[in-house]
Structure 1
Amino acid sequence: MLSKDSLADFQSVLYSRFQAESDSGPVELKLTEVEVKQASPQAEQFSLLLKGPEAPFLPQQMYRMNHEQLGELDLFMVPVGKGKDGFLYEIVFNRLVTG
């Protein structure tokens, strides 16, 4: 299990694959972008953009995500767009930085 969910953790696995557990089985997603929204010594605000297949569509909700390096994560994912070959999903983080 990922202990921090930090910006650096996700930047280190950019372009790698995640599996989201859904009602129709595991769905493979590719991490295509890690965007810093704001950062300060006290907090990190960033988002992940993941690309998924055309089917199945994953609605907005919590998902158990699995990653080879990061392990299991429970994350809230939102669909944000559709391209010609699949859907785009976003996960947003607002977290306090601890010493």
Structure 2
Amino acid sequence: MVSSADLATLRIEDFAPHCDSVFEMQTAGGVVPLKLTQVSPAGASGRAGGAFSLLFVALAGPWLPQAIYPVKHPVLGVMEIFLVPVGPVPGGNGYHATFT
């Protein structure tokens, strides 16, 4: 079983090697595959490791509302991430997460 990740300890360096890999967003309707397409620094922060943002892309289709979703990755584990729909992006529906 994949363990749960502690969001407070995750850093941009944890996600950068997994750009272009697939994560699984758990929803009431089932699993939605998300491709991590962008990992970006997000300025100064009091957060250990600094602030950063992630952009995920799901296949085009119905939008899911902004909410906290369990997101699973085989290396990083399961993370409870607040995802915000950001509109159509190349390849489908974009979802953004910011760690501050």
Q: Do these two structures clear the TM 0.5 threshold for a shared fold by scoring above it?
A: yes
Residues 62, 41 of structure 1: CA spacing in aligned structure 2 closer, same or farther, 3 A cutoff?
closer
Shift of 1:82: 1.0
Q: Which runs of 5+ in 2 are unaligned?
A: none
Q: Normalization by structure 1: what TM-score?
A: 0.84
Residues 86, 71 of structure 1: CA spacing in aligned structure 2 closer, same or farther, 3 A cutoff?
same
Aligned residues: 94
Aligned partners of 1:15, 1:85: CA distance in 2, in Å?
Answer: 12
Shift of 1:85: 4.4
Is 1:26 equivalent to 2:31 in the alignment?
A: yes
Compute the RMSD of aligned alpha carbons: 1.9
Aligned partners of 1:81, 1:35: CA distance in 2, in Å?
Answer: 18
Match of 2:17 in 1: 12
Shift of 1:40: 6.7
Aligned partners of 1:17, 1:80: CA distance in 2, in Å?
Answer: 18
Give CA-to-partner distance per residue, 1:39-81, whole Å, 9 cap, x none.
Answer: 4796411100000012342210000000011110000000011
Task: Name the structure with the higher strand share.
Answer: 1
CA contact (8 A) 2:65 2:84 kept: yes
Q: Secondary structure at the match of 1:12?
A: helix
Q: Normalization by structure 2: what TM-score?
A: 0.83
How do 1:30-69 residues align onto structure 2 when only pairs under 5 Å count?
Answer: 30-39=35-44, 43=48, 44-69=50-75
Deviation beyond 3 Å, 4+ runs, structure 1? 39-43
% identical aligned pairs: 36
Aligned partners of 1:41, 1:78: CA distance in 2, in Å?
Answer: 22
Task: Name the structure with the higher helix share.
Answer: 2
Residues 11, 25 of structure 1: CA spacing in aligned structure 2 closer, same or farther, 3 A cutoff?
same
CA contact (8 A) 2:57 2:89 kept: no
